[in-house]
Structures are given as structure tokens and as C-alpha cells.
Structure 1
Amino acid sequence: MSEFTIVCQEHPQYLQYTLSGDHTDQDWVDLLHRMAADVERTGKMRIYIDAVEVTWTDSVMLRYRVGVLTGKLFGGTTRIAALTRADDSDPLWETVASNRGAIVRLGHDGDDLLKWLAQDA
């Protein structure tokens, strides 16, 4: 089991979180709260998450709970793009978060996600 790591980089227009390793449900909750605090601190309303190196999970409940919390913490104020592994095709997080007002996009092409992130809301 490898440790869950988060590397945060502040770019001129967005915050980037590069994730890797094995995770617990609490790791995702902690990450979302950290992201919300970073948005508050920096005023940057765009987030890029690179989760390609995260150990894959098929936990439907985890994806659902993270989607609900994403909607609750960010609503329609912050654009969030998440790059996932090519073998991860479950859009549940994106669907749940979007249904709760969040502006999110999930995908496998980092360049496309960054273009989407740069668009005006």
C-alpha cells in the first residue's frame, strides 16, 4: 500500500492538485476541504485535479459522497476539472456534483480539460 499524496501548485489562473497512491474515504473529504480553504485564501476559482496516479476505486458510495460534498463546498462558484485514469470510466462524481450545482468536468485528456477550465463560466 502506497501513501496517498497531494502536491498543490498555484498557477496564475488556477490551482492544481496532483494526487497519487492509495486512499481512504477520509482522504477525499480532507482534500475537498483543503481545496475550499485554498480557493478562499487565493481567490482562484478554478481547480485542476490530476488523479491519474491514484489507486482506482469502484466504490459507488465514495463517488456519490464526494460528489455531494463537491456541490456543497463549491456550488456554482468554482470550476473543477479532474483528470482520471484511462481505465476509470465511471462519471458518477461528475453527475452527482453537477446535479448539486457544481461546475465540474471529468476526463482522460488533460489538454482538453485545461481548455475547458480556462473558458468563461
Structure 2
Amino acid sequence: MAKSDTSHHDERIANMAFGSVLPHYISKIEKKGRTQEEMYSVIQWLTGYDKDQILAHAANKTNFRDFFDQCELNPNANLITGVICGYRVEEISNETTRQCRYLDKLIDELARGKKLERILRKPK
């Protein structure tokens, strides 16, 4: 059964630098034969940031709270469902934590070989 209470780490996630996690995303997807360009496409779909903006946030050590507060979250992001890190993403009440888990879920799907068209959700 997935957990839904993230309150014990919401603040830690919000204050974590996006740039400290990006290399882990890159490593994860490249080990599975996916490209950085695919990863940037996924992040752009979720946030609206282009590759240069993503890299600027990483270089500027933007925390996840500001990273998501400053973006135009994709209106279909709520179609991202499932369990990541033991949490059902659609049940996470803290907005920043849920958005971080959206991103984690998309990167995980990319690494697992899911087709890009399926990762970039469109309403039915």
C-alpha cells in the first residue's frame, strides 16, 4: 500500500537544489540507453522550461520550490498517476512535493523504456 503523508520531508524537498538532482536523472536515463535530449523534452513538457532555462536553474542552484513556482506546469500534469518512492503521486497533498514526484515519475518512465509519446500525457 502506498503512503500518502509526505509532511515529514516536504520542507527538505522544497529546499533541495534542482541542480543537485539533475545529474542523478541524467545518470539514470543514460544507464538505460535514453538520451539527455529525451530527458529535457520530458522536463520541458512538465514545466515549460526549455533546455537553456533548465540548465540555468541547475547552475543557479534554484530550489525545487522556486523551480516549480516559476514554471507553467503542464495542464495535463494531473494525468501523472502511480507510485514513486513509495508514494501515490495523485494523493500527495503538498503541491511542491507532488510536482517533484511528477518529475521523478516521468524520469522513471523514461528510464524504464516507455515511449515518449506515452510519457507526455494527453487527455483521453
Q: One fold, TM greater than 0.5?
A: no
More helix by share: 2
Larger relative contact order (C-alpha < 8 A, sep ≥ 6)?
2
More strand by share: 1
